[in-house]
Amino acid sequence: MNHRWRSLVALTLVFGLAVAGCSNGSSGSSSKNAGANGASVQPNALDAGNQDLGQKAKAVQDRSIVYTADLTVRVADAGAASLEATKIAEKAGGYLADQKADLDGQREATVTIRVPEERFRPALDQVAALGKALDRRIGSTDVTAEVVDVSGRLKSNQASAERLRALIAKAPSTGDIVTIEQELAKREAEIETLQGQLRVLDDRSTLATINVRFTEKTPALAPSENHSPGFVSAVKTGGRTLLAAGRVLVVVIGFLLPFLPLVALGWLGLRWWRRRRPASRGKADPGWTPPLPPPPTDG
């Protein structure tokens, strides 16, 4: 009997200690949660600030901006520099849009490359590093409002087209069907136009444009036998000079041609006046006698 009572008391004590431990643990955890909740006021404020900054950054990223740059670079070889600019564009994920070269006279090359917007600055610096940058201009145009306007009109026309397609099935007569199809064709044409405008705007904002003019500095050649003109070059130079002189002569003749009748009339009048001058002089002076011949001299 005593053994049973001892066992019951021991079990009671163990159960009491277990309950006390659970209560202490729950109170400790609740105090920890309370402390966590009390300390979470400042992190929530920071999270709100970070969220605002993230929304502003997203708003900036969502803007459609067209970047362009114009460069003038002096290089040793314009042709080789244009090829290097094309390689820079291809490595950046872009392409060569246009190229013009004058490798005989001015020794210049004009290249237009398109590169992704995120690679615009590095590609621009790499192209400028191909020689000595003489001129550098960078511009940007925000076309976000235009994109929003075109997108809104596109959605409106698409919704109108869907309503017209639904009306065709419910049209009571053939005339109504024809009228609805005509309006639907207008909406579809407008949709294609707006989609084309969006593609152009997306291309302009996604790919930046770099226009670069490569020019060579031609050094002055020292006079030497190697640079003396040859026979063929002298003939060509003489022919060009003769042709230029002929053009000048033709221009002079064309300028003087309207005055030739006046010059001819003046010359004829002068001759007539000289012929009439002796006769008029004799009539005006009746006492005038021609001079006597000199007396003969003895041989």
> Over the stretch 75-114, which tens digit does the pLDDT of each residue have?
998 889 999 999 999 999 999 999 988 777 678 899 999 9
Q: Which of 205, 226, 255 is the last residue of a domain?
A: 205
In the sheet with 95-102, reading across from the earlier edge strand, the strands are 95-102, 108-116, 207-216, 65-75, 132-142
Return the C-alpha torsion angle 267, 270, 276, 282, nearest 10: -160
Ranges 32-36, 83-87, 166-170, 259-263, most confident: 83-87
Q: Which of 140, 167, 187 is the last residue of a domain?
A: 140
- When pLDDT is cut at 50, 70 and 90, the band that residue 205 belongs to is confident
Tell whether pTM > 0.75: no
Look up the domain containing 151 and give its range. 145-205
Compute the half-sphere exposure of residue 26: CA atoms within 13 Å on the CB side of its CA. 5
- Give the torsion sign (CA, 48, 54, 58, 61): positive
Does residue 38 have a pLDDT over 90? no
Does residue 212 have a pLDDT over 90? yes
The tens digit of pLDDT for each residue in 134-168 reads 999 999 889 999 999 999 999 999 999 999 998 88
Does residue 286 have a pLDDT over 60? no
Do 89 and 109 fall within a single domain?
yes
Percent of the chain with pLDDT over 90: 34
pLDDT at 175: 86
pLDDT averaged over every residue in the chain: 75
Nearest to 86 by CA among 118, 130, 117, 121: 130
Does residue 132 have a pLDDT over 50? yes
Q: Which amino acid is at 242?
A: L
pLDDT, mean of residues 198-224: 80
Q: How many domains does the chain have?
A: 2
Q: Burial, 263: exposed, middle or buried (Cβ in 10 Å; 0-12, 13-18, 19+)?
A: exposed
Do 122 and 180 fall within a single domain?
no
Q: Which of 86, 112, 140 is the last residue of a domain?
A: 140
CB 153 within 8 A of CB 192: no
Q: Which amino acid is at 261?
A: P
- Tell me, yes or no, whether 248 lies in a domain: no
